[in-house]
Amino acid sequence: MGAKEEILQRRYERERRARQEAERLLEEKSLEVYHSNKNLKQLTLDLEKRVEEATHRTRFQESKFTALFEHSFDGILIHDTDGRVLEANHELARMLGVTLERISSMNLMDMHPESELHTAKAALQTVEDQGFHRFEIDFLRADGSCFPAEVAASRFEVNGKTVVQGMVRDITHQKRQQAELRAARDEAERANKAKSLFLANMSHEIRTPMNGIIGVSELLNATRLDPEQKELTETIRKSGENLLEIINDVLDISKIESGKLDLESAPFSLSEVIERAVTGVMATASSRGIELACIIDPKVHDWLLGDSTRLRQIISNLLGNAVKFTHEGEVSLKVDALEVANGRQRLSLAVSDTGIGISAEHLPVCFKNSVKWTRAPPATTAAPGWDSPSAVVWSN
């Protein structure tokens, strides 16, 4: 074999081996492609399954949304930030008295009367700024009539664009009910005022003849009478005085209810007021063997500014009540100087007794329903206590 043949022989061998190597690599690659294809098919199947599931979920969400949208009791409107309607439901079309086709060509501002356009624009701006806004506004029907509505509007993004969804609820019925309630309340207040006026007038009318009865019985009592007659006239006088007191209380209540109770602001002696109040219950107390005690702190100013009549009434009522419900022991009135603020002295008037007291459950009701307490003069406030009701007075 010549040199050239040898070279060609070697070349042939190299090329044969290269071909074999190429075939091996081709086989390897084919297997790779086969497996890749298989994996790809599985991947496609998985992907199809996921797409199907996602589609199913989307359809379900769509159905749910459609059901809510179409069968809502409220009108629903979706519009862009310029107010152009993107979608609306049948309920809103019904409320406005237009067709769905007509709504789709409308602008939000076409749905309100001229007088409400400012409110509508301001509300739209608020929704854009804050994301949510609830407000009341009148809507305009196709026939030109209006109805009041409550709107809950919220902003959201769709494909990078801001849209607003508004839930519109007709509140005509609610508004009517509110107006009726207001009218009923006004009527009740008017009736109550009339009742108070009637009571005030009646009490006044009754008091005049009562004063006549008491005066005449006193005059009669001053004449020569036998003991039995004296006792009878005395009974007439006492009964008259009791009745007059009840009438005065009724008159006070009606004055308070009608807001006609004016408080005086005049200088008075506290000790004098207390003395008169104590004297008023002294007879009853001594007849029952109950001891009456009155302790006044030396720091207490005697000369005060206020309504002495009302203060005496309060002290008398507290003492009278204490004596009434105490069968033995004592009733005491204690006056203390609490503090000085803004040139005024704060006083505490506490009445305590050894009587049956007031149960805890009745205590709030007692003070709540007591006109004398709740309507006590502003210069005189009351602090509740278990068995020692007290009054607090400001003095200059």
Q: Using CB under 8 A, list all residues that contact another protein.
A: 4, 7, 10-11, 13-19, 21-22, 25-26, 29
What's the closest the beta carbon of residue 160 comes to another protein, in angstroms?
29
Residue placing its CB nearer to another protein in the complex, 19 or 190: 19
Residue 29 or residue 134: which is nearer to another protein going by CB?
29
Least CB distance to another protein at residue 39 (A): 15
Nearer to another protein among residue 10 and residue 182 (C-beta): 10
- Beta carbon of residue 24, minimum distance to another protein (angstroms, whole number): 9
Q: Which two tokens stand for residue 26?
A: 């081709």
Smaller CB distance to another protein: residue 4 or 224?
4
83: left (phi over 0), alpha (psi -120 to 50) or beta: left
Minimal distance in Å, beta carbon 20 to another protein? 8
Contact 351, 332 (CB under 8 A): yes
When the beta carbons of 37 and 235 are compared against another protein, the nearer one is 37
- What is the rounded end-to-end Cα distance, in angstroms, of the chain? 146
Question: Which parts of the chain are beta strand (E)?
Answer: 75-80, 85-88, 132-140, 146-158, 161-170, 266-269, 291-296, 303-306, 330-341, 344-353, 380-383, 390-395
Q: How far is the CB of 43 from another protein (least distance, A)?
A: 17
Q: How far is the CB of 21 from another protein (least distance, A)?
A: 5
Q: Concatenated DSSP letters for 46-96?
A: HHHHHHHHHHHHHHHHHHHHHHHHHS-SSEEEEEETT-BEEEE-HHHHHHH
Q: Return the number of the residue (29 or 50) whose C-beta is nearest another protein.
A: 29
Q: How far is the CB of 96 from another protein (least distance, A)?
A: 58
Question: How near is the Cβ of 41 to another protein at its closest, in Å?
Answer: 20
Indicate the residue among 21 and 272 with the shorter CB distance to another protein.
21
The CB-of-5 to another protein minimum distance in angstroms stands at 12
Check: CB of residue 377 under 8 Å from CB of residue 311. yes
- Please tell me the distance from the alpha carbon of residue 393 to that of residue 335, in angstroms, as a whole number: 10
Comparison of 21 and 291: residue with beta carbon closer to another protein: 21
- Cβ proximity of 88 and 77 under 8 Å: yes
> What does the buried/exposed string (b/e) look like for 96-111 if buried means 16 or more CB atoms within 10 Å of the residue's CB?
bebeeeebeebebeeb
Cβ nearer to another protein, comparing 19 with 41: 19
CA geometry: angle at 123 spanning 104 and 95, to 5°?
40
368 token code pair? 């709540």
CA angle 387, 388, 391 (to 5 degrees): 145
Q: Give the phi and the psi of residue 121 in degrees, each rounded to 5.
A: -65, -40
Half-sphere exposure (CA, 13 Å, Cβ side) for 334? 11
Instruction: Report the alpha-carbon distance of residue 286 to residue 330 in Å, rounded.
Output: 10
